[in-house]
């Protein structure tokens, strides 16, 4: 049976002018934001890519293509091996969670295969990384490991403490408004001045506040920000470990403490906003079903706060990779290279060495790493967010 098509009614002149006016109005409203993003966001990224392709020390030199990237990475085959290890890591994660679910003893088989893949991941990553650090710019590559230590040491502690504090401050306790203000103060206090105060608190002198406090429990005075030795060596005496297995230095751990102190208050405020959005009827229904206080927190509060937790985890992780001010203020020469994160190394290459093109290449590499980590976090954690 043939269908009879209806002709679309042509727009009148007044309707066309009204739609045109609405479109122009919409574009005018978004144009300020587009200009700000283009000028202060997209243009610097594009110009950094442009600079990285030239030999640029104070003045623009010859076009050298990817030579700066080759000097930093050192071994492209090593990079491919390292990326292959990351692919194996993603495969192990997928096998652990999704494969063989329909088979008898499928979960056990999946876990065994995932364990084998994880061993292959460790060998592949270490081999690729060794090739790059041997032939490439080991100072910048080592700064990436230090940045990873800083991120892994800061973000989980920040979120756990913030969630606990938010849950406590959300209860009907006396003076909770004052406590909320106190916990938020470190975030709004100028970070340079507070970093200087922390340098005084964690001074290597025996009379510093930190050494006095640990002396009360029988621990010898520590060098804190001046200590380049890893915490594993100081605590357990493990020496001659490679840079990754040795863990962060005591100087970096001290800076991590400052980062946690600074940003816990902000995360607490965001968690408080999330707690305020949870309906009381849900808690009442769970209590009627016999849920305990811990049960309410574990099975109601945490799942319903998962969008907030995911957002804070994402923002905090990106922030740690870009952190600069307090690290630059708190680092001392005695700590050697153990507190030089990627952002600090980029600044030193640019400002101290006046090597603009290499600094631009390092910044682009850091940008790609942040972009990749953000994408991976969205894929791995985004599906686990409960939106109600």
User: pLDDT for 321-341, tens place per residue?
Assistant: 988 999 999 999 888 889 999
Q: What is the pLDDT of residue 172?
A: 80
User: For the chain, what is the mean pLDDT?
Assistant: 86
Spatial distance between the Cα atoms of 210 and 200, rounded to a whole number of angstroms: 9
Q: What is the pLDDT of residue 51?
A: 93
Higher pLDDT, 162 or 4: 162
CA distances from 20 to 16, 188, 317 (A): 6, 45, 43
Whether 99 shows a pLDDT value over 70: the answer reads no
Say if CB 184 and CB 266 are below 8 A apart. yes
Lowest mean pLDDT among 106-110, 228-232, 375-379: 106-110
Residue of 48, 51, 47, 45 lying closest to 63 (CA atoms): 51
Lowest mean pLDDT among 14-18, 30-34, 186-190: 14-18
Confidence band (pLDDT; 50, 70, 90) for 80? very high
Q: What is the pLDDT of residue 1?
A: 45
Whether 138 shows a pLDDT value over 50: the answer reads yes
Say if CB 250 and CB 229 are below 8 A apart. yes
Enumerate helices (H) and strands (E) in the chain, giving the number of each: 19, 2
Say if CB 84 and CB 52 are below 8 A apart. no
Lowest mean pLDDT among 74-78, 112-116, 245-249: 112-116
Q: Which residues contact 151 (CB under 8 A, 6 or more apart)?
A: 317, 320, 321
Tell me the three state secondary structure of residue 241. Answer: coil
Q: What is the pLDDT of residue 247?
A: 85
CA distances from 305 to 140, 167, 270, 277, 298 (A): 37, 11, 10, 9, 11
- pLDDT tens for 269-281 read 999 988 888 888 8
The highest-level CATH class for domain 137-384 is mainly alpha
**Ranges of each domain in the chain:** 75-135, 137-384
Tell me the three state secondary structure of residue 54. Answer: strand
Say if CB 93 and CB 386 are below 8 A apart. no
Mean pLDDT on 64-91: 90
């Amino acid at each position: 049976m043939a269908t009879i098509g209806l002709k679309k009614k042509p727009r009148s002149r007044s309707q066309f002018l009204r739609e045109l006016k609405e479109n122009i109005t919409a574009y005018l409203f978004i144009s300020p934001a587009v200009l700000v993003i283009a000028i202060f966001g997209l243009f610097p990224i594009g110009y950094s890519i442009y600079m990285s392709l030239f030999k640029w020390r104070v003045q623009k030199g010859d076009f050298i293509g990817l030579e700066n990237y080759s000097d930093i990475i050192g071994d492209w085959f090593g990079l491919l091996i390292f990326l292959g290890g990351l692919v194996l890591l993603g495969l192990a994660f997928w096998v652990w969670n999704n494969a063989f679910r329909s088979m008898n003893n499928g979960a056990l088989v999946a876990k065994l295969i995932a364990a084998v893949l994880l061993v292959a991941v460790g060998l592949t990553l270490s081999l690729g990384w060794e090739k790059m650090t041997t032939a490439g710019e080991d100072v910048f590559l080592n700064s990436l490991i230090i940045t990873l230590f800083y991120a892994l040491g800061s973000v989980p502690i920040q979120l756990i403490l913030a969630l606990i504090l938010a849950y406590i401050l959300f209860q009907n306790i006396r003076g909770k408004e004052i406590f909320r203000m106190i916990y938020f103060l470190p975030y709004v206090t100028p970070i340079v001045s507070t970093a200087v105060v922390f340098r005084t608190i964690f001074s290597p002198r025996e009379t510093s506040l930190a050494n006095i406090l640990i002396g009360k429990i029988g621990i010898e005075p520590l060098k804190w920000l001046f200590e380049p030795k890893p915490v594993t060596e100081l605590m357990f005496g493990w020496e001659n470990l490679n840079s990754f297995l040795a863990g962060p230095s005591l100087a970096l751990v001290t800076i991590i403490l400052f980062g946690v102190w600074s940003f816990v208050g902000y995360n607490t405020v965001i968690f408080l906003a999330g707690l305020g959005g949870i309906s009381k009827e849900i808690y009442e229904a769970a209590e009627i079903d016999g849920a305990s206080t811990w049960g309410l927190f574990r099975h109601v509060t945490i799942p319903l706060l998962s969008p907030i937790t995911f957002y804070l985890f994402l923002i905090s992780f990106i922030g740690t990779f870009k952190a600069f001010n307090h690290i630059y203020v708190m680092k001392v020469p005695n700590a050697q290279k153990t507190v030089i994160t990627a952002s600090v190394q980029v600044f030193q290459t640019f400002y101290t060495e006046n090597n603009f093109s290499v600094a631009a290449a390092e910044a682009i590499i850091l940008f790609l790493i942040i972009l990749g980590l953000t994408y991976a976090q969205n894929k791995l954690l985004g599906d686990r967010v409960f939106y109600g």
